[in-house]
Each structure stands twice: as structure tokens, then as C-alpha cells.
Amino acid sequence: MNRVIKLKIVLDKTKLSNLLILVAIVGILFFISMIAIAAGMGIDIGVILSMFVEGTFGSAFGILSVLRVTTGLVVVSLGLAVAFRVGVLNVGGDGQMLWGALATMAVALYLDLPAPLMVVLIFVLSFLAGGGWGLIAGFLKAKWGVHELVSTLMLNFVAIATMIEISSGPWQDPVVLIAMTKMIPESIRFPFISYPLNSVFIIALALIPVVYVLMNKTVVGYKIKVVGSNINAAENAGMNNKKIIMLCMFISGGICALSGSLLVLGQYFRAEANMTGKFGFYGIVAAVLGKCRPELMLVTSFILAFFITGTNSLRVLGVSGGFVDVIMGILFIVGILPELLSRLRRR
Amino acid sequence: MIDVMIISILEFSPILIIAGMGQLLSQKSGVYNLGIEGIMTSGAVFAVLAFFLGLGSWESLLFGTFIGLIFGALLFILSEKFKLDQIVIGFGIWFLSLGVANALFATVLSGEGLTLARFEPLIFSLNPMVFFAFALVAIFIYIYSKTNFGLSVIAVGEDPKVADTSGINVERIRGISVIVGSGLIGLAGAYFAVHVLQGFTYVMLSGYGWVAFAIVLFARWRASYVLFGSLFFTAITTIVTRLNILGITLLPLTFMGYLPHIAVLVGLTLTMIFGKKSGMPAALGTPYKKEEK
């Protein structure tokens, strides 16, 4: 009854050199569009480029900013990859992140325990909150075949509405007049390695081997792989597909929520509705380009973070933030170029 | 009061009807158009751009449609000519079109203070596009039940291999369906910008494209149900707005704004539970490879 749309992620041996070619092509396209922008806005191209380099690799601050963006992005893409592996298109990363942030704020504002205990509790609760949010979509899909693309997207809006209500209601910071929650206590803020890079970066890195082991060395990971590659074969082999799909959405939502709580603990120290910065969508790009392999997703997240940070640093000049989306679209389409070339060669 | 509301529902409804029809056309032939949200946004921004360049309302709609056609062609070439994954391509087009729209809007159009001219009402104080939207549904029902082309589209969507052996040009049928469908989606966005909002804001489309996508699933791939679904969800939006103006709030205000999205999810779930027959094209989501025989 449930027709699962399979997101075919080719688990081939993608080499790093392919990724580097990809970066080069995107770089060229990026350069061309930069020239177009400069011409359109009447700004000297040299100024734009130097700003871009300054904002990314040209300065210590730039490099650290890129790593800071990587932190959130890599965790989201790890979460989404778990769902993509089983063929479920989780596009609700933003909503799940917001639930992670809400759980974090709840613990931070209402409990007063020793800091290490608080942090552990925050991670557990935000995993459960985001996982539960993902599980709604997973349950609807497994039980009645409701398309996850619709359910996860629509649940995003519900999560955003919840966050707006809470951050402008009971938890609002009395100092600011916009919808933002109060700050979390000093004791549970993670220290900065060197501003703006926070030590939560290390937690993000530590999650990569965890997800790798989960996907490649455990029974659950094996089942995920089988269900993802051929759902009928899995059913014939006696696997409970519905259970696997629900479990995947739970884990996926949980990891995405951890990203939200890392953003609260290490970057904003509070929560608001647009804190996710569309990471739930950019994470899709990182996961698909990285072929849903944790080690590759670190590289793709880093590349994406480079473009996001660079474009954001151009905002001073009046370059639109919407430009980040253009880069993402180009990356996505160019990212499948190796496959395209091999198809052409076979013709 | 009631007649004002009915007119307002009918004036809003072409957005979802036309976009839903575009998506339906594409999906009937077996291709998901996941760029829908972005293509609608692009259609809207390009319509505003056309207006900014001094064109009239109708030309603005054409401009929006044209952008839809271009993205449709991109989707078709990548997904059917090169047989790449429709979903990945769809996401790519979604980001690309959304980004192009936002970047263009921010660089050229923002702060221009445009006021777009609405369409003149035709009869019953309804504008011509409302009649166009309803006519479109009738045409679609006719095409799918009576014409050769419509039956070919259904055949291609159900089983491209069988369609191919019986002499139907699969690539051409899919090409027409995807590109025209995408054009309709662009048109829906353009209508939204020109007539309903009279401009463009970043938040305007907040998920409307995806609502249209959901309506196609909700309608079980039937043109007449798409019409009813669109009218139903437009009615919810309109009534909610009306209640907000009157100061009656059943839920906190932010939730009221997202009520159509919640209604779509609930509606889709209910259809999945109680709906008996699914009209889902069997080959939906799979590119047709001729050499794999």
C-alpha cells in the first residue's frame, strides 16, 4: 500500500577529487555571477571579491566564522542523511531544530542543577523533542502513507508558529522588544575556542563517527540500508519496514534537534523563530552532495559554509541574502554533474 | 458580508487552482515538480519586474509564465533527457528559482514602492483570471477523458514502457506536460503578485506552493478534486483572515496565519485514512530509460 519514493543516493566511491572539481566549477560560476552583481549594482568587482575573501579565508575571523557555520550545518545534514538513507525525504529540519531549541530553553529557564547535569539533560530532552516531532511525520507515513514531503514541511510552519508564540509570550526577554527568548544562564554556555568559534564545534565533530558507526556497523544501520535500497526485498526478508521508517524519522529529527540546541548553547544563547537560518534546507544540499556519507558530509558542509559565510559578509554592500539560495541551487545542479557526465559518456 | 467573502474566496482561488493544475499535469505524466514553491516565487517576482519595466498587467502575467516555462525546460532536460533523479533536480530548481527571485527582488525592486494595477472585473465583480482558472479545470477534464493527448499522458504516467511500445513518444509527452505545467505554476505566482498582493514580499508565498503540491495528492490526481480542494483551502484562509479582522481568534494569532497549512496536513491525512481509490500514476518519480529493455 505504501509506495515509498526512493531518493536514490548512489553509494558509489565518490572521490575527494570529484568534490574538488565540483568546487572549482562552482567557484567559476560564482565568480561570473559576482561580476554580474557588481555590474548590476555598480560596485567595483575588486571590492566585492576582497570583501568575500576577507569574510572567509582571508582572515582568522573569517576562517573561524566558516567553521562556526559548519558546526550547525554538519549536524543537520547528519540528521537528514539518516532519513534519506531509508528513502524518506525529511525536509522538516528547521522545525526539528526549533523543537531542539525549545527543549534547551525549557531546561535552561526552569531547572537549576549543576551545569554538567543540565547539559546532559538538555541533549537528551532536545533529542527526544525533535525526534518526537520527526516521528509524527514518520508515523503518518508508515501508518497511512501520508507523503513525508508535505507533512514535514507543514509541521515546519507549526514549529515556527509555536516558537513565535513562546518567544513573544512567556519566555520573552523583557529587554528586547522583538520575539526573542531570555538568555540562558552563564553556567551552561559553552566556552569559545576563539571568538566566533565555539567549543560546540567539537561536539559536532564527535557526532560524525557516531552516525558513521550507526549507519555502517550496527544492525539498525544495516536494516536502514536494506529498506532504503529495496523495500520489497526487505519486506520479503521479514523486516518491519514501518518500524524502520519510524525509527529513522525519530533519529533523524533527534539529530536535527541537537543542531538547534548546539546553536542555542554555543552561538545565540537564546532562541528565536528564524535562528535556524534555513539550515534545514541547506542541510539537504550538504547531505545529497555528500552522498549521505558522514565523512563526506563534513567536507560538503564546509564548502557550503564557505559560500554562506562569504555571501553573508557581502551584506554590508547591499548584496541580497537570497543570493545564498542561488549558490545552493547551482551547487545542487552542478553537484550531480559527475553523474551527468558519465551518462553522456555512456550514450 | 457573505457575498464579499465569496468574491474574495473566488478571487484568491486561481492561485491554488492554476498551480495545482500545473503540478497535476506534470505528475500525471510521471514527473514530480518539486520546484513548485520556487517557481511560483520566481513567477511573482518576474511579474513585478515586468510591471517595473512599464508593461501592463497582462504582459506581467505572461512574463511570469515565461519564467515558469524556462524552469520547466530545465527540469525536463535534466530529469528526462539525462535521466537524473527527479527529486534531487526538483530540490535544485527549488533553491535556484527561489534564490534568483529573492536576489533579483533585493537588488532591483526593493524600495521601489510599486503599486500594481489590478485586473478590471469582468462580470459579478470577478476578474477574467477567475474564469480562466475554472475553464482550465474544465479543459483538463476534457483533455484527460476525451482526447488522444490526454490518454497518452495517462498511459505514460502509468507505464512508459507499454506506452512506448504502442507508439507513443514518451519523451515528447513528458516534455509538453512538464514544461506547460511549470508555466502554469509561474502564472499562478504572477497572478498572486499582480492581482492579489499587488507587489511582492518575502513572506508572501510562505508555503503556498507546497499547499498546491499537497492539494494534488489530496485530490488523488483528479482534476475536479483539485478544484474542490483549492476552493476549500482558499475558503479556510479567507475565513481565518476575516475572523482575524473581526477580532475573533480561536487560536493564538500566529497559528491562525498557518491554519491553511495545518488544514492541508490534516486533510491529506484524512484522505489517506478514508480515501479508497488512489489515482496515483504508477510510474510517478521514475525516469523512463529506453535502453533498459
What average pLDDT does the segment A330-339 reach? Answer: 72
Amino acid of residue A103? A
- pLDDT at residue B122 in the model: 63
Block residue for cell numbers 503540491: B213
pLDDT tens per residue across span A23-44: 677 677 777 777 777 776 777 7
Please name the residue ranges forming H helices in A168-322. Answer: 200-216, 219-229, 231-236, 241-263, 279-289, 294-313
Instruction: Closest CB to B91: pick one of A150, A284, A327.
Output: A284
CB atoms inside a 10 Å sphere around CB A19: 18
Q: Which of B36, B96, B284 to mutate to test the interface with A (most CBs of A within 10 A)?
A: B96
Q: What is the ipTM of this complex?
A: 0.85
User: Would residue B232 count as lying in a domain?
Assistant: no
Tallying the residues shown for chain A, one arrives at 347
Q: What is the pLDDT of residues B166-175, one digit of tens each?
A: 888 888 899 9
Residues 6+ apart with CB under 8 A from B284: B27, B30, B31, B32, B157
B positions 194-253 inside 8 Å of A (CB): 206-207, 210, 213-214, 217, 252
> pLDDT at residue A259 above 90?
yes
Across the interface, which of B34, B83, B262 has its CB nearest the CB of A343? Answer: B83
| A5–B87 C-beta distance less than 8 A | yes
pLDDT given for residue A5 in this prediction: 39
Q: Where is pLDDT greater, at A97 or A13?
A: A97
Pairwise CB contact (< 8 Å): A161 & B254: yes
Contacts of A94 in chain B (CB under 8 A): none
- Residue A73: phi and psi, rounded to 5, are -65, -40
Task: Using a CB–CB cutoff of 8 Å, tell me whether B270 touches chain A.
Answer: no
SS3 A314: helix
SS3 (DSSP) at A31: helix
The closest of A270, A254, A212, A224 to A76, measured between CA atoms, is: A254
CB within 8 Å: B101 and A164:
no
What does pLDDT average to over chain A? 84
- pLDDT tier at B199 (50, 70, 90 boundaries)? low
Asked if residue B18 is part of any domain, the answer here is yes
- Over residues A210-227, the pLDDT tens digits come to 999 999 999 988 888 888
pLDDT at B285 over 90: no
User: Grid coordinates representing B72?
Assistant: 520547466
How confident is the model over A287-298, as pLDDT tens digits?
A: 988 888 898 899
Q: Tell if the CB–CB gap between A153 and B206 is shorter than 8 Å.
A: no
Q: Which residue of A has its CA nearest to B275?
A: A144
Give tens-digit pLDDT for B206-222.
Answer: 778 888 999 998 888 88
Q: Residue A50 to residues A53, A55, A323, B240: CA-CA distances in angstroms?
A: 5, 8, 17, 50
Distances in Å between the Cα of A76 and the Cα atoms of A98, A223, A277 are 12, 22, 12
In chain A, the residue whose alpha carbon lies closest to the alpha carbon of B75 is A333
Position A111 in a domain: yes
* Predicted local distance difference test score (pLDDT) of residue A49: 82
| Nearest CB neighbour to B258, from listed A5, A146, A158 | A158
How many domains does the structure of chain B reveal? Answer: 1
Dmax over CA atoms of chain B, in Å, equals 64
User: Is B3 among the domain residues?
Assistant: no
Q: Looking at the complex, does the CB of residue B105 fall below 8 Å from at least one CB of chain A?
A: yes
| pLDDT at A6 exceeding the cut of 70 | no
CATH code of the domain covering residue B28: 1.10.3470.10
A113-140 average pLDDT score: 94
What's the distance, CA B224 to chain centroid? 15
Collapsing DSSP to helix, strand or coil, B49 comes out as helix
| pLDDT given for residue A201 in this prediction | 93
B226 lies in a domain?
Answer: no
Residue range of the domain that includes B133: 13-206
Q: Would you say residue A9 has pLDDT above 50?
A: no
pLDDT at A145 over 60: yes
Residue A246 domain-assigned?
Answer: yes
- The pLDDT confidence band at residue B95, using thresholds 50, 70 and 90, is confident
Range of the domain at A150: 67-277
- Chain A residues whose beta carbon lies within 8 Å of the beta carbon of residue B259: none
Domains: count for chain A: 1
Res A10 pLDDT > 50? no
